[in-house]
Structure 1
Amino acid sequence: MKERQARELATLGFAGSEDTNAGRLDGLVRAIAGVGVSSAAAVAAPPRISKGKKWRDRRAQQDAEREQRIQDEQALLVSDRKVEEDVLAAKLQPLGLSLKEIKPDGHCLYRAVEDQLQLHPSAPQYSFQELRKIAAGYIREHPEDFVPFIGGDVELEDYCREIESTAAWGGQLELEALSHALQKHIFVFSAEMAIVEMGSGFQRDGTNPSIKLSYHKHAFGLGEHYNSLVPA
């Protein structure tokens, strides 16, 4: 029996004394066990995802969900939107104006004003982010003109901070602020209302071109929307 065991051990490379062979066997067992544990650990450990990637993935998902909501709302509001577009087009056609679609991302009012400024490259140019800060700054400096219209449950500073640091949708108050801060005459056309004018005192014989925007109530179900008006 011992001779048979010796031959089997010899085939595995364990020739020599019993003490030596015992040590080698012990090492072999430990090595095999170590490999098994390491392999299992390698398989079990999931890859770590950085906080930045998690935030980017979450933001991308939110953007995708918003775009889907917009598409869903558009499908529901096709008829109202079409009526509004037709009525507005009938008003704009005699004036030689047409719509330029602005992205409905909460910055549409400021993007539309930015687009209007770009029609006249010789005039000062501002990005939509800068226009947000300009509007907020003017409202801060002239609280008496705006506080009565903001609402008693909202602090002026909170309102201004929201304008300049979020994608909050802008409206007539912000346009009034921009009209005075930029010293621009602003027209707002819509299907359901008469033309709204702001800053008519800044109109100067063609040397200070007016800003022309369109207001849409039914373009998107998520809120009001503004587009830029350009020559047809």
Structure 2
Amino acid sequence: MIDSILTEEELMQKHKKERKELQAQIQTLKKSICKGDKKKKKEIAEEIGRLEESLEKQHTEELNAWRLAHVTLNDQQTESAQVSKEVDKDNSSLEQSTHRISKAQKRREKKAIAEKERNQRIIEQETLNIFGKRNIETEAIKEILSKQNLMIYEIPSDGHCLYNAVVHQLKINGETPLSLDDLRTKTADYLKENMNDFLPFLSNPDSEDLLTPEEYEKYCNDVAETSAWGGAVELQVLSRILKCPIEVIQATGAPYIIGDEYSNDKKVTLTYHRHMYELGAHYNSVTKCVQDEES
């Protein structure tokens, strides 16, 4: 149970420290994997997932508890003042009349109680929204970007987010414009031409066995012809096609760069969100911060 005496800033610092400690623990776990030991790699990946989920759940619960504790405290103070006024008013009324409370008064009191309960539910829901996984992750990414004078540029969640985010980056970097279809086709062609490089990293989602050559062919066709979501493999391919590094910024851990052998002059920067949408992970682009005209 989180100590409600902590300030919100102290609580956020505590969470930041715990996330750093978890990242150190994760690095230790990754280093324990022997090269080629797929079973151990899978077990470690599952363990890392459990650790991250557990810490996020703990932080969410602590933040919710902190918020609700302070909301309740403020409500109690306000209610106490209101009760005092109502008692004085009631005593005055009793001195003037000993008649029973009317039915209309009872209805008003019942309505007031219902309204108070409704407001409390609204406050609790807003607390959950503010301290939910999605908002916590987004705020963490925004903080990282702000240090680079950048902000999130929203990309629609339609299966094409990775490619559309790259298209946006190429446009703002002044590169030769490529369409969504161009990038998908080039990615699929590169995958087909370099099957031996990528086949070991792709598995059947149902059996977890490596894809057969026939399944790999279908995978490539899906990349070109459908809204199949792009991930780590496609990031590698896009970096090679565009001959530029791709920086991926996420809420926890340091940003990672694919294709760091290329020049940084035309770097593509994306943000990776695990919890933005219920359908799964999501990529956004970034742009320069826009200053408030009134400031």
Q: TM-score range by the shorter chain?
A: 0.5 to 0.7
| Mapped partners of 2:134, 2:145: distance in 1 | 16
Q: 1:135 to 1:128 in 2, by over 3 A?
A: same
* 1:124, distance to aligned residue in structure 2 (A): 1.7
Structure-2 residue corresponding to 1:109: 162
TM-score by length of 2: 0.50
Tell me if 1:139 matches 2:161: no
If you compute each CA radius of gyration, which structure gives the higher value, 1 or 2? 1
Q: How does 1:1-232 map to 2 (within 5 A)?
A: 78=129, 79-121=132-174, 123-151=175-203, 152-153=210-211, 155-203=215-263, 206=265, 209-232=266-289
* 1:191, distance to aligned residue in structure 2 (A): 0.4
Q: Which protein, 1 or 2, shows the higher relative CO under an 8 Å CA cutoff with sep ≥ 6?
A: 1
**CA offsets per residue over residues 109-152 of structure 1, 9 Å max, x none?**
0000000011133x221111111111111111111210001122
TM-score by length of 1: 0.63
What secondary structure sits across from 1:118 in the alignment?
Answer: helix
The amino acid of 1:216's aligned partner reads H
* 1:153, distance to aligned residue in structure 2 (A): 3.7
Taking every aligned residue pair, what percent have the same amino acid on both sides? 37
Structure-2 residue corresponding to 1:31: none
| Mapped partners of 1:131, 1:193: distance in 2 | 28
The amino acid of 1:215's aligned partner reads Y
| Mapped partners of 1:153, 1:144: distance in 2 | 12
* 1:197, distance to aligned residue in structure 2 (A): 0.5
* 1:224, distance to aligned residue in structure 2 (A): 1.1
Aligned length, in residue pairs: 153
Runs of 4+ in structure 1 deviating by more than 4 angstroms, as ranges, are: none
| Mapped partners of 2:184, 2:173: distance in 1 | 20
**CA offsets per residue over residues 81-126 of structure 1, 9 Å max, x none?**
11001111111111111100001000000000000011133x2211
Q: Unaligned regions of 5+ residues in structure 2, if any?
A: 1-125, 204-209, 290-295
The amino acid of 2:180's aligned partner reads F
What secondary structure sits across from 1:212 in the alignment?
Answer: strand
| Mapped partners of 1:182, 1:196: distance in 2 | 18
